[in-house]
Amino acid sequence: MIKLRYVHWQDGNHQLGYFEDYPDYITQGESREELIENLKDLYGDLTSGVIPHIRKVDEMVLA
């Protein structure tokens, strides 16, 4: 099981969202359930290599 955090909001009649790790890649749905299904599809695309040159947010610790 993979646990992913996502950001979502309503814009008019649509729910929009993106994964915190991939903020450049936004998807939408007419309901929250459809948004979640679209996010699952987007994650598949992001991790399969279908989308080239993916930018991702990460973190580091400096001492």
Q: What is the pTM of this model?
A: 0.87
| Neighbour tally for 54: CB within 10 Å | 14
Domain residue ranges in the chain? 6-48
Under a CB-based contact definition with an 8 Å cutoff, are residues 37 and 61 in contact? Answer: no
* 11-57 pLDDT, tens digit each: 999 999 999 999 999 999 999 999 999 999 999 999 999 999 999 99
DSSP letter at 57?
A: -
Give dist(CA 8, CA 32) in Å, integer.
9
> What does the pLDDT read at residue 61?
97
Q: What is the pLDDT of residue 18?
A: 98
> What are the counts of helices (DSSP H) followed by strands (DSSP E) for the chain?
1, 3
